Structure 1
Amino acid sequence: MTQQTRPADIAPPAQERPGMTPIALVPDVAPPPLPTLANRHAYATALRAHPGQWFLLGAHDNAPGARNITWGIQKGDHGWQHFGPDYQAQTHTMFGQHRIYVRYAPDTWQEPEQEPEQHAPAVPTATVNLPGSFADWLTVTLADFGPAPSLDDVRAALAAAYRTNRRHGYFLTLEATAPVLEMLAVLAADCVNLGRSATGHNTREAARTARLRLVAARTRLES
């Protein structure tokens, strides 16, 4: 058990819990009633929210009775089984009152750590090789569309593919989520539907190949 600090040297906590007066050796602070058997579990649990802080538990009409209570609290015995070695207790006599102070202070207690930051679960992705001529057409087309929030994820996936130098000869290796794959497949279908006169034969055939690969990648991802 850690060395006990005398209650007189401890500043009262900023907030009080109902039925738990912060430790303060002030004569006009009336001790609360001692916890009954029915509410001792709740009291012990409440103390855990304030590790290291002393609270006035109550008072006994004689010194031996007060010492028995402090012993029971620290041992977790004699009706105080919800307490135990992780709790410390002291008695102080003032104006004929045998006051009992208690705190939660286990040997391993340290300043509470912040809860780890919660991260959203990773979204599954699939990798697909897009024909280079379709990737080039896609880059120009997205630039012509201008600002379009619905295409932001598509732009980001395409930019990441170029940024990581994942274009190998005729193909651009792109990693994307299912919604991005679906949107890319729609754009590939639009390229095909524009016709050879608008896109050229090579780009139209590249778009057709890209669409088949995008649909297959999305199917694998969602299966």
Structure 2
Amino acid sequence: MTNVKYKRIVLKLSGEALAGEKGFGINPPVIKVIAKQIKDVHDLGVQIGIVVGGGNIWRGETGAEMGMDRAQADSMGMLATVMNGLALQDGLESLGVEVRVQTAIEMRQVAEPYIRRRAIRNLEKNRVVIFAGGTGNPYFSTDSAAALRAAEIDADVILMAKNNVDGVYSADPKLDPEAVKFEQLTQLDIINKGLNVMDSTASSLSMDNDIPVVVFNMNEPGNIKRVVEGENIGTTIEGGK
């Protein structure tokens, strides 16, 4: 392995990232670009787990706001993440990267069930593991799934890849010209300041298990690799209290 800062990572991708400028659905050319960036990191010898959202297809919260039962709406959202995971798997495999998709909801015809020890073994064999289906439970976001899987596989860091957002700010920089970008924070800062980075469950999980989070702009080519190699971009959120 080359000289990298993080040897085992969980990369959190939003569902919207797979839609590109269309904003909805799965955009194969965009997936190819993302897959190439992931392959560049994989070529360094880094062990990669990926959690992908489903907001480009369905959001459970949106369904609940429309009058659907929240648990039912969230189940639909978890299935959306499986679709995204399979699309990303195809993009990576087209580049020669060996990939396993593991789902929190069993669907053996299309993916492996999530089994912690099997996931770790796949990582040790230099396979990218895509964790789909969220946590398998309603009311939990894919941010929480990323924090949970990172703790379970003993990841060194969670890489929170954002669309055209280069870190954590004191306010929305598009609305407030005086918004200040933070380079370093703690999870306690995120919770106390009410910063919109990840939900409070994910923040608490990361804090309790001392897992750092790096928030960065994934739309800048090569940024995933730069973070893994230790370049100071985005905002680093320390996991400890």
TM over 0.5, shorter chain: no
Larger relative helix fraction:
1
Larger Rg: 1
Normalised by the length of structure 2, the TM-score is 0.25
Normalised by the length of structure 1, the TM-score is 0.26
Higher relative contact order (CA 8 A, sep 6+): 2
